[in-house]
């Protein structure tokens, strides 16, 4: 469960200050599929960084499951990030020198999982995105859609509390994008909590809940069933 209350993040740009987060409160229940929409500069990336434990708010509280993230040391935050958050990026962000399986294994290595368990979990995750037969391929031997599916497998492998996706279809053509979105629905159906950041209304419409960022403030759009 994500619970952010009254979070502020203010950047100083030259003489003016930019209020990236201006008193944002957001609660995401376990198993929810939430889309955060908003134009660039609206503060949605800042919000994503805070949800993903990549950054901490200047003021306000962030509770992730049992953890009070704002009170944790840098080391504990890094550990929490690895265990609780599964990132999916627009640019895939696979390590180019590792093959698909090794990429999926990486978060498990940082969780100190023993070799056999790690291999099994990584293979299972690859299986769930339908890429088990591509396990030994390097990222540059895979298509964009396949790379993103490896990234999805990597996010899933560590069984995180939250899947955090930043424009996951942004670098893909619409057909491949659809396939990735299908994966998201599957993940959701399997009980995963998903937070999806996008500026594409068509993608956002597929989430069960939509929130909108505008000038550092958060607005609840709607709460409805899966489209």
Whether the CB-CB separation of 35 and 18 falls below 8 Å is answered with: no
> Which residues 45-64 are close enough to bind another protein by CB under 8 A?
49, 52, 54-55
* 146 secondary structure, DSSP code: H
Residue choice 26, 106, 181, 183 for contact with another protein (CB under 8 A): 106
| Paired residues of 223 in beta bridges | 209
Q: Which of 36, 9, 84, 57 is nearest to 201 (CA)?
A: 36
Structure tokens at 2: 């994500």
Q: Which is nearer to another protein, 99 or 193 (CB)?
A: 99
Per CB under 8 A, does 82 bind another protein?
A: yes
Q: Which residue's structure tokens are 């990597």?
A: 154
Please, what is the minimum distance in Å from the beta carbon of residue 115 to another protein? 9
Could you tell me how many residues make up the chain? Answer: 227
| β-strands 85-88, 162-166 pairing | parallel
Per CB under 8 A, does 139 bind another protein?
A: no
Residue choice 5, 70, 111, 176 for contact with another protein (CB under 8 A): 111
Q: What is the per-residue binding string for another protein in 157-176, x denoting contact by CB under 8 A?
A: -x------------------
Is the Cα dihedral 70, 76, 77, 82 positive or negative? negative
Per CB under 8 A, does 81 bind another protein?
A: yes
Q: Which is nearer to another protein, 80 or 205 (CB)?
A: 80
Residue choice 19, 23, 89, 159 for contact with another protein (CB under 8 A): 89
Size of the site for another protein (CB under 8 A): 27
Per CB under 8 A, does 140 bind another protein?
A: no
Stretch that binds another protein, among 1-9, 75-83, 195-203, 219-227 (CB under 8 A): 75-83
Please, what is the minimum distance in Å from the beta carbon of residue 40 to another protein? 13
Phi and psi at 187, nearest 5°, equal -60, -40
Q: Which is nearer to another protein, 91 or 201 (CB)?
A: 91
Whether the CB-CB separation of 211 and 34 falls below 8 Å is answered with: yes
Structure tokens at 74: 């840098």
In angstroms, the Cα distances linking 50 to 5, 16, 29, 58 are: 12, 22, 17, 10
Whether the CB-CB separation of 103 and 150 falls below 8 Å is answered with: yes
Q: Which is nearer to another protein, 47 or 209 (CB)?
A: 47
Binding site for another protein (CB under 8 A): 49, 52, 54-55, 74-75, 78-79, 81-83, 87, 89, 91, 93-95, 97-98, 106-107, 109-112, 154, 158
């Amino acid at each position: 469960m994500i619970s952010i209350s009254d979070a502020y993040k203010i950047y100083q740009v030259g003489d003016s200050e930019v209020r990236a987060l201006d008193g944002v409160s957001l609660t995401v229940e376990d198993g929810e599929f939430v889309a955060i929409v908003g134009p660039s500069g609206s503060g949605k990336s800042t919000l994503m960084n805070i949800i993903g434990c990549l950054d901490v708010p200047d003021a306000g509280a962030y509770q992730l499951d049992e953890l009070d993230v704002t009170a944790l040391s840098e080391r504990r935050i890094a550990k929490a990030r690895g265990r609780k958050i599964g990132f999916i990026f627009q640019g895939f962000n696979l390590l180019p020198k590792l093959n698909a399986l090794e990429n999926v294994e990486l978060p498990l290595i940082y969780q100190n999982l023993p070799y056999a368990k790690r291999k099994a979990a990584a293979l299972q995750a690859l299986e769930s995105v339908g890429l088990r037969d591509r396990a030994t391929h390097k990222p540059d031997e895979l298509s964009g859609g396949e790379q993103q599916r490896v990234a999805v497998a990597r996010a899933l492998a560590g069984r995180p509390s939250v899947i955090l996706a930043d424009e996951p279809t942004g670098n893909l053509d619409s057909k491949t994008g659809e396939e990735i979105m299908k994966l998201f629905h599957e993940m959701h159906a399997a009980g995963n909590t998903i937070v999806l950041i996008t500026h594409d209304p068509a993608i956002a419409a597929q989430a069960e809940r939509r929130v909108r960022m505008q000038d550092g403030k958060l607005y609840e759009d709607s709460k409805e069933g899966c489209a």
